[in-house]
Amino acid sequence: MADNLQTQALKRPFKLSFEFFPPKSEDMEAQLWETVDDLAGWEPEFVSVTYGAGGTTKAPTLAVVRRLIAQTPLATASHLTCVGATREEVANVVEEFRAVGVKHFVALRGDPPTGVGSAYQPHPGGYENAAALVAGLKDLGDFEISVSAYPEKHPESADLAMDIDMLKRKVDNGATRALTQFFFDNDLFEQYLNRVRAAGITIPIVPGIMPILNLTQLKRFASMCGTSVPAWLDERFSGLEDRPVVRAQVAAEIAAEQIADLQRRGVDEFHLYTMNRAPLVNATLQQLGLNKPQQQVKTTAPFAESATA
C-alpha cells in the first residue's frame, strides 16, 4: 500500500456505516452474524439492512433488524421500498419495524417487480416514487430518513438534472442523508456533488464504497445499476485469477485508495457495502492505518430463533 495512506491516527478521521442483507440459508445466516460480530468493533455510526421490492424479504429483514437492535449496540436502519404495495400496506410494515425499535429508514422506491431495466409502474393506491415514500414516512412518525443518490444518475432517469431534481424532492419531503450508489471515479462524484450543492441540497451525500470481491460479478451488477467500471480496474486485477490472497490485498488497496482520495477532497463519511463479509472491509480500513477501537461484539441467538421471529 502506498505510504501516503498509512497514518498513526488513533481515532478514525471519518464517519462510517455498513450495509448488510438478510440471509437466505443457515450457512448465510451464520456468515452474516460472524460479520456483524466482527465489524461492530469498528463502531459504525449505523448499519442498514436491505429490503426486497414488494416486501419480498420483509420477514428475514425484520428478523435481522430485531436481532441487531436487541443484541448489539449498533444503531440500526431498515431499508424500505414501496414497489408492489399500497400505502396502507407500507404503513403496516412501518408499524412492524417501529415495534422492534426501528427509528431510521432508508427509503427507496425499489426495482420493478419484473426486474431492473423494465418499465416501472406505481402500485395502485401506493406511493408513486421515493419522494412520496419519504413524505409518507414523515406523516407516520418522526423517523430519521436516508435516501439513495446516483453520481452517474439512476438508469431510468433521462439525465442527471432530472435525477438531482428527484433527490431535491426527497430532501424537501424530509430526507436527512443520501447514500450513493457505488462508483469508482471520484472525479465523477465530485462533479455530481458540486451540482447537488448548486441545486440547494445541503444534506450529507455519503459515498457508497464497494470493495471488490469478484470483478466479473461486479461488472455484471454495475451494468444493471448504470455504474461505470474503469479500465484500470482490469489492469489492477490482471493475472490474479488464481491468486486469491493477492487479489484480496489489491481489492483492499483499491477501496482504501478511493476513500483516502475522497478524504483529501473533503469527504468525511462513508457507507461500505459489506456483502455480509468482514475480511475485505477489515483489510480496507486497516490499509488506511486504522485499528478497531473495540473487540468483536458477540451475538448469541441461534439461527432458528432469528429466522422464525
**Amino acid 12: pLDDT:** 75
Pairwise CA distance, residues 147 & 174, whole Å: 10
Q: Which three cell numbers stand for residue 34?
A: 460472524
Confidence (pLDDT) at 58: 84
Cell (9 digits) for 164: 438531482
User: So what's the pLDDT on residue 200?
Assistant: 98
Report pLDDT for 199: 98
pLDDT at 307: 35
Residue 112 — φ and ψ, nearest 5°?
-55, 145
Closest CA to 263 of 290, 282, 236: 290
Domain that holds residue 282: 3-308
pTM listed for this prediction: 0.89
d(CA 202, CA 204): 7
d(CA 271, CA 258): 13
pLDDT of residue 293: 82
Q: Give the per-residue pLDDT at 303.
A: 39
**CATH code: domain of residue 247:** 3.20.20.220
Q: What is residue 137's predicted lDDT score, i.e. its pLDDT?
A: 97
Per-residue pLDDT of the chain (309 residues; tens, 9 = 90+): 344 444 333 457 899 999 999 999 999 999 999 999 999 999 999 999 999 755 567 899 999 999 999 999 999 999 999 888 899 999 999 999 999 999 999 999 887 665 555 566 777 888 999 999 999 999 999 999 999 999 999 988 889 999 999 999 999 999 999 999 999 999 999 999 999 999 999 999 999 999 999 999 999 999 988 899 999 999 999 999 899 999 999 999 999 999 999 999 999 999 999 999 999 999 999 999 998 886 666 665 443 333 333
**Catalytic residue of the set 19, 29, 152, 257:** 19
Which DSSP category does 5 fall into? G
pLDDT of residue 84: 82
* Residue type (1 letter), 198: A
Asked about 89 being catalytic, the answer comes back as no
pLDDT of residue 116: 55
Number of domains in the chain: 1
